[in-house]
Amino acid sequence: MAKGDPGVTTRGRRAAPRSKKAGAGKAGDPELVQLLTPEGERIESVTGPDGTEYRVDFTDEEYRGLYRDLVLVRKLDAEATALQRQGELGIWASLLGQEAAQVGSGRALRTQDMAFPTYREHGVLYCRGIDPIMPLGLFRGVDQGGWDPNEFKFNMYTIVIGAQTLHATGYAMGIAMDGKTGTDDGEAVIAYFGDGATSQGDVNESFVWAGVFNAPMVFFCQNNQYAISEPLERQTRIPLYQRAAGFGFPGIRVDGNDVLATYAVTRQALDNARHGQGPSLIEAYTYRMGAHTTSDDPTRYRIASEVEAWQAKDPIARMKAFLTKQQLADADFFAEVDEQARRESVHLRERVLAMPNPEPTTLFDHVYPNGSPLVEQQREQFSRYLESFEGSAH
Amino acid sequence: MAKGDPGVTTRGRRAAPRSKKAGAGKAGDPELVQLLTPEGERIESVTGPDGTEYRVDFTDEEYRGLYRDLVLVRKLDAEATALQRQGELGIWASLLGQEAAQVGSGRALRTQDMAFPTYREHGVLYCRGIDPIMPLGLFRGVDQGGWDPNEFKFNMYTIVIGAQTLHATGYAMGIAMDGKTGTDDGEAVIAYFGDGATSQGDVNESFVWAGVFNAPMVFFCQNNQYAISEPLERQTRIPLYQRAAGFGFPGIRVDGNDVLATYAVTRQALDNARHGQGPSLIEAYTYRMGAHTTSDDPTRYRIASEVEAWQAKDPIARMKAFLTKQQLADADFFAEVDEQARRESVHLRERVLAMPNPEPTTLFDHVYPNGSPLVEQQREQFSRYLESFEGSAH
Amino acid sequence: MATETLTLGKALNVGLRRALENDPKVVIMGEDVGKLGGVFRITDGLQKDFGDQRVIDTPLAESGIIGTAIGLAIRGYRPVCEIQFDGFVYPAYDQIVSQVAKMHYRSRGKLKIPMVIRIPFGGGIGAVEHHSESPEAYFAHTAGLKVVSCANPQDAYVMIQQAIASDDPIIFLEPKRRYWEKGPVEVDAPLADAYPLHAARVARPGTDVTVLAYGPMVRTCLDAATAAAEDGRELEVIDLRTLSPLDLGVVYESVKRTGRAVVVHEAPSNVGLGAELAARITEECFYSLESPVLRVTGFDTPYPAARVEEEYLPDLDRVLDAVDRTYGW
Amino acid sequence: MATETLTLGKALNVGLRRALENDPKVVIMGEDVGKLGGVFRITDGLQKDFGDQRVIDTPLAESGIIGTAIGLAIRGYRPVCEIQFDGFVYPAYDQIVSQVAKMHYRSRGKLKIPMVIRIPFGGGIGAVEHHSESPEAYFAHTAGLKVVSCANPQDAYVMIQQAIASDDPIIFLEPKRRYWEKGPVEVDAPLADAYPLHAARVARPGTDVTVLAYGPMVRTCLDAATAAAEDGRELEVIDLRTLSPLDLGVVYESVKRTGRAVVVHEAPSNVGLGAELAARITEECFYSLESPVLRVTGFDTPYPAARVEEEYLPDLDRVLDAVDRTYGW
Ligand SMILES: Cc1ncc(C[n+]2csc(CCOP(=O)(O)OP(=O)(O)O)c2C)c(N)n1
Ligand SMILES: Cc1ncc(C[n+]2csc(CCOP(=O)(O)OP(=O)(O)O)c2C)c(N)n1
Ligand SMILES: [Mg+2]
Ligand SMILES: [Mg+2]
């Protein structure tokens, strides 16, 4: 799929009744924007609660590109999980099940947009065109991120729940202060966070700030139904997207397992932001198919049948069904994608294994931009101490 | 006014159309619940946005009692301001202009209810039947509160903005855990905070908690239009009462200068809570007529005409106009109330002046329930040190 | 007296169970403490047996946990709050230092906040950022809080119960890298007879150098003492147990005998517990000291990436190196 | 060279103005910093002259102030955040210690957070709770932060500009009780020629006892030195200026000469800056010390009610008492 500006339209205006109401006809969740059913049926367009019409007009190539993204990020994620099992990573936070939420939103970003991830947005990172090796140093324990957010327009992973939403808001305020909104070239920010994070003070403060300063940003909540072991009901008694209304900006729930709907909704929200229409909240309704991290044991707190029910809503399967039904792709294509995924994951593995351990004294590097005599003194003492062992059996 | 259960009804049910819609007919603010206009006209009843009918059926005596409360709390407050000017208090946070919000909500509390104030709820304290001298130690600087929240069902003043809303929520969770909801004797909590406080993480976390645990409590926000110098627009771009919807419980805006409406709305919300119907948010729309505290200079950030406009909505004047028009009170009554207010304020002044300074070594008291050898050692050393000056010119 | 062999983690679990049994006002609250039993399983099985009103899975917000626990304490409960990892206590910092620590004082003794805040702390488990910190100095510097740390299963079992029974607000630091280490626990001994909560204890007597440690570093120092003994040096290892207030009588007595002291902790050196210990020991034992009190600590850098944490953390060799240096002074 | 007589508060105000003039990326943000000019008027007139995009009245939430300032810093701004009072910095503690302090390290040097967090600190103004605290130890213990404090108008004027120009994240502690004290300020001297930010300085030379202080206590110690001189004792008063990292060269040199040291601060004693200073001085000057390093500090209680704060705060007499005690040892 071409980066930058794929041939897709979403229209921010009242739509004629030919488009469906959000999720109309779907059992259970009348509030969900969906453009691709679990069975792979396309819904032509959907009208959101505020009258916005959501649709996508991808080329065949672009549809296939989205499928490729989904398969690749799942495969790379699986490889990382395997690497952790084999002791090559200290821990891994898998995105399994959330591929569509991440690819849909990640592809909706324009080049100039800035993303603030949690620790799970490997799929978004991939869609930004960033080498998937980038965050693996953190999980291997050889560094703690170590990249420049501005170089990649992708902030470092943030582990403290919710903290990054304020950073995103400040950054978005900076965009407005720089006068970089109001045109198609305007910049926007996307802040990722989970359902659990919505309880944190910081996240709610970022809602306050974004509202007051009309910050050009999108709050993108991947509601994967759990915060480690705690189900959604421990964080809220109403749907999360409704939180936004309390702060004076729009909120919308999208089927986070539907890459097309996620794309359409995110693209619209980002474009609204870049045009100076302020913040909005997207709740991507999805499911964490795996454990919270490789350290977690989900059998302690959820039942197999729940996982199975969500299996039926798999984001990749529905895209494959759609491509097949529409004859947009054939077996060769699917085989080729799988092969590419295999190759990329082997390549990733090789590079992870080759990651060198940091030199001991690098732990003293970069404590301060301008350095510190205290740290330098400790570095020297420790170096001398290490040297004292040299030649010894230690 | 009789304490406990004055003869008032509010009905938590859909009302027949004979009652007005909230604030119907009022210019400017269709969202405001009002039962007494600035001109002193009674509105028979008002139907809130959820269909609840708000009305009061006070006896003549009770109406006069409310007026008396308003006058008394204003007078005592003015006395405290005067005491500060004369150097007898270190600082004072005046409630001027917010008497109706405080008397209305304070009188709506039942004996068993628990209140968590900020630093400005002197009027609520008064209505709880607490001696107004109680908080003056704090402002004089002879103590930092020093009372038992459980004895008075009134927490100590909290200065850190928003912190007390979480305490209130925890306390309310405790009520539910104790099984003390569901009947007329059920307990409820009221948490006071300001418009500025709504931006704090803690306040929003308390909304999360209250929603999730269905805590029996009322969030009572006195929107006095300012957080020190910052106008409401620095905290929100929509009316504050709407915040509640984002957390899944009802919010309502009441005319905070209307003691009757404030009473009715608060009473209803508390009764809902005590009956197990969970939390709600009341925004009492009012105005801080004076400075933020005696240290503040409001002329730096607001214009006189704004203050004058609010002068016309004075909570006491409208109550007086009502009593006069309805011939519920005569000049003798008003004179008698003023005389009582004068007497009580003189009494207050005398007792403030008589407040002894704490002994130096009391600063070591009550650091820990079980004491600490470190503190005791410091106390002894300091006592010896002080003794070393005895007899000297020091 | 029944003595069982338990891991430190299990000892805490059994201790918490006892506390829940003994006082209906005790409630446990935190993230994932319910069905999951906490990420370290310290509350394993407790929600099942005591119900979700006694063992409460909270929303994901640390300030909310401590703030609502304060309200429960005002209501008469005795909340035991779990903070999932050391690095996640800071969102609750305001509620801890400005409310929990100060309400007794503010009320002139009329209000008690008998709260225990459990924090798995320290490094050495190969974790990512924020999961390996040692925040004890932040709390020890805060008047109104008490701070303790256990170093072995027996203490874990007893101290958690003592902390919960105490009316003081207590930060209870659990040496997470030692959760899986086993030791004997007297599970039936009456709490009233137990060694006091706020008292240090000699973990290994010795004559040559006094080594002070707490929590995870006690084991490291005991190992160092074993190694030193092979070289003919007898280290006296003192497990401080209570970090605020410090209990220094036994320390002074020891240093006056040995003339040498080394303090060991994982937290950074600058304005850490080691500084306080050095200052107090020097003041009290000025004429007994053969060398200044030396500190073996984490460095004054953020806690580093896992693959260099072993360099960051004090270990046996660094302790012995400091011991040597007290001789060379 | 133009020398003006300014209060410390006004010197900060003029220094901030210079910083806004010199670098369009500098933004001031906080509660009431706009029209009101801050509760202490330190930002008086700045919003009027630089607009509300450079001097930003924020919503009332300290975590939000610091968190959004981080985002602005990532975007290339240089935020100067005002925390209204010392006791209100704790809601922002997480953003400060886990984000501001660690992002440069986390990024392996690729990201800078050139932020200044201004905090009026300390007591002595007769205020209510939370308005008189001295939180420096909490920040000095945190690797990744630098901490400085000014003690006179000249330093206030220069140091605030240096702090803003520095790429390090800096906690800038303003001695609020000294805001109204006047002194000469060289308003035109080039910043490049100024005394370095992270350097201590002898405030009054002396031969008998080294007295260390910073911020509000420098004046107290200078007064003590004047009084001591009348009794024939010459105190050398050192204004530390930088609290993290400490600059101890001049201190060691002094103590080696005098053999006696007293550290003075308002913050509680336990695990405070004084402990670190005592530990470091003892280690470096072990054989020069005639007495242990003594501490004159606030007590290990919460900051008390205003009417007893003068008892709580170190004053001239308590400093002289400690000086005496270094002789009696
Ligand atoms: C402040 C803080 N508290 C606790 C944690 C531990 N923790 C890590 S992930 C997590 C759950 C997050 O849930 P959610 O926001 O739904 O995101 P998800 O992991 O499901 O993507 C918790 C509690 C943390 N990282 N930060
Ligand atoms: C956490 C915290 N930050 C800042 C302050 C300083 N402060 C005291 S009152 C106040 C404004 C509060 O405004 P609001 O919540 O509207 O209440 P009001 O004073 O208007 O009743 C501020 C900023 C504080 N007390 N606590
Ligand atoms: Mg989740
Ligand atoms: Mg207000």
Specify if D196 maps to a domain. Answer: no
What is the pLDDT at residue D329? Answer: 87
CA distances from residue D196 to B368, C67, D159, D199 in whole angstroms, order as listed: 43, 43, 8, 6
Q: Are residues D98 and D153 in the same domain?
A: yes
For chain C, which ranges sit under pLDDT 50?
none
Q: What radius of gyration do chain B's Cα atoms show?
A: 22
For residue B8, pLDDT over 60 is answered with no
Contact of C284 with chain B, judged by CB distance below 8 Å, is answered with no
Q: What does the alpha-carbon distance between residue A235 and residue C58 come to, in Å, rounded to a whole number? A: 8
The string of pLDDT tens digits covering residues B46-72 is 998 889 999 999 999 999 999 999 999
Whether residues B392 and B261 share a domain: the answer is no
* Domain membership flag for residue D195: no
Reported confidence tier of residue A29, pLDDT bands at 50, 70, 90: low
Integer Cα distance of B193 and A180 in angstroms: 37
Asked whether the predicted pLDDT for residue B394 surpasses 50, the reply is no
Structural domains counted in chain C: 2
Classified as helix, coil or strand, C252 is: helix
Helical residues (DSSP H) of D75-119, grouped into ranges: 93-94, 103-106
In a domain, D245, yes or no: yes
Flag whether C195 is in a domain: no
Find where tokens 């003690």 sit: D151
- Asked if A52 and A18 count as a contact pair (C-beta separation under 8 A), the reply is no
Chain C contact partners (≥3 CB pairs within 8 A): A, B, D
B23 has a pLDDT exceeding 80: no
- For residues B266-276, average pLDDT: 98
Indicate whether C112 and C219 sit together in one domain.
no
Cα–Cα distance measured from residue C148 to residue C192, given in angstroms and rounded to the nearest whole number: 18
Tell me, yes or no, whether D113 lies in a domain.
yes
CATH of the domain at C236: 3.40.50.920
Q: At what angle do helices B60-85 and B331-353 cross, to 10 degrees?
A: 40
Predicted local confidence at residue A50, as pLDDT = 85
pLDDT at C328: 86
- D311 occurs within a structural domain: yes
Instruction: Look up the domain containing C295 and give its range.
Output: 201-325
Domain match, C70 and C114 both:
yes
Q: Is the complex ipTM higher than 0.95?
A: yes
Q: C162 and C127 in one domain?
A: yes
pLDDT of A13: 33
- At residue B225, the pLDDT reads 98
- Quote the percentage of chain B above a pLDDT of 90: 90
Domain that holds residue A387: 362-394
Q: How far apart are the first and last CA of chain A?
A: 54
Residue D125: CB atoms within 10 Å: 16
Q: Residue B7: what pLDDT? A: 37
Same domain, A161 and A305: yes
Please state whether the peptide bond connecting residue C245 to the residue before it is cis, i.e. omega within 30 degrees of 0. Answer: yes
For residues C129 and C232, membership in a common domain is answered with: no
To probe the interface with C, which of A89, A234, A382 has the most C CB atoms within 10 Å? Answer: A234
| Mean pLDDT on A345-351 | 98
Please give the helix or strand (H or E) that residue D266 lies within, else none.
strand D261-268
C96 in a structural domain: yes
Strand-strand pairing, D294-298 and D261-268: parallel
On whether both C264 and C160 belong to a single domain, the answer is no
Picking from B138, B235, B361, the nearest residue to D59 by CB comes out as B235
Q: Are D178 and D63 in the same domain? A: yes
The predicted pLDDT at position A71 comes to: 98
- The answer on D96 and D129 residing in a single domain is yes
Q: In 3D, which of A353, A292, A295 has the Cα closest to residue A94?
A: A292
Ligand 1 pocket at CB < 6 A: A 120, 159-161, 194-197, 224, 226-228, 288, 292; C 31, 60, 62, 84, 88, 91
Quick one: pLDDT at residue A2?
36
Whether D300 sits inside 8 A of C106 (CB atoms) is no
Q: Nearest CA to CA, how far is C298 from chain A (Å)?
A: 10
Give me the CATH number covering residue C91: 3.40.50.970
- The pLDDT mean for chain D works out to 98
Rounded Cα distance, D150 and A368, in Å: 21
CB–CB of A252/A223 below 8 Å? no
Q: Report the CATH number that the domain containing residue A116 is assigned in CATH.
A: 3.40.50.970
Inspect the interface and report whether the beta carbons of A357 and C308 lie closer than 8 Å: yes
* Distance between CA atoms of residues A38 and C253, nearest Å: 74
Cα dist from D35 to A244, B102, C7, C214, whole Å:
30, 29, 60, 51
Q: Place A392 in a pLDDT band, splitting at 50, 70 and 90.
A: low
Nearest CA among B260, B259, B255 for reference residue B285? B255
pLDDT, averaged across chain A:
93
Backbone angles phi, psi at B13, to 5 degrees: -145, 165
Q: How far apart are CA B294 and CA B91, in angstroms?
A: 6
- Asked, for residue A17, whether it belongs to a domain, the answer is no
Write out the DSSP string of C135-204. -HHHHHTSTT-EEEE--SHHHHHHHHHHHHHSSS-EEEEEEGGGTT-EEEEETTS-GGGSPPTT--EEEE
Per-residue pLDDT reduced to its tens digit, D24-68: 999 999 999 999 999 999 999 999 999 999 999 999 999 999 999
Neighboring chain A residues of D95 at a CB cutoff of 8 Å: 163, 166, 202
Active-site residue set of B? 288, 292, 301
Say which residues have a Cβ less than 8 Å from residue D21's Cβ, sequence separation at least 6: none
Which runs of E-coded beta strand occur in chain C?
3-7, 26-30, 55-57, 78-82, 116-121, 146-149, 170-175, 182-186, 201-204, 209-213, 235-239, 242-244, 261-268, 294-298
Say how many Å lie between the CA of residue B18 and the centre of ligand 1: 52
- Given this model, what pLDDT does residue B5 score? 39
A377 and A290 part of one domain: no
Chain D CB contacts of C63 under 8 Å are 91
Q: Do C307 and A160 touch (CB under 8 A)?
A: no
Q: Supply the pLDDT for residue A10.
A: 42
pLDDT of residue B390: 82
pTM beyond cutoff 0.80: yes
pLDDT 10s digits, A5-21: 343 444 333 333 335 65
- Quote the number of domains for chain B: 2
Chain A's closest residue to B200, CA to CA, is A205
Of D155, D190, D225, the last residue of a domain is D190
Contact (CB, 8 A) for C168 and C197: no
Token pair for B140: 């004089």
Quote the distance between the C-alpha of residue D69 and its chain's center.
Answer: 21
The sheet carrying A52-54 orders its strands as A11-14, A52-54, A46-47, A20-21
Instruction: Specify whether the CB–CB gap between A95 and A77 falls below 8 A.
Output: yes
User: In this structure, are A338 and A366 located in the same domain?
Assistant: no
Same domain, residue pair C178 and C89: yes
B288 C-alpha to center of ligand 4: Å? 7
